Amino acid sequence: MTPQVTLPRTQDIEAATTAQRELAAYLATGFETKLVQLVDSQGRLHPIQLPMAALQLLSEILSELADGNAVKIVPVHAELTTQEAADLLNVSRPYLVKLLETGKLAFHKTGKHRRIRFDDLMTYKQARDEASQSALDNLAAEAQELRMGYE
**Domains in the chain, number:** 2
Please tell me whether residues 38 and 90 are part of one structural domain.
Answer: no
| Beta bridge mates, 102 | none
Q: Which domain holds residue 46?
A: 10-66
Q: Which residues contact 66 (CB under 8 A, 6 or more apart)?
A: 13, 16, 17, 20
Q: What is the pLDDT of residues 26-70, one digit of tens each?
A: 888 877 767 888 999 999 999 998 888 888 899 999 999 999 998
Nearest one of 130, 148, 127, 128 to 139, comparing CA atoms: 148
pTM exceeds cut of 0.75: no
Please tell me whether residues 60 and 83 are part of one structural domain.
Answer: no
CATH of the domain at 124: 1.10.1660
In angstroms, rounded to a whole number, what is the distance separating the alpha carbons of residues 126 and 65? Answer: 24
Q: What is the pLDDT of residues 104-130, one digit of tens each?
A: 999 999 999 999 999 999 999 999 999
Question: For the chain, what's the residue count?
Answer: 151
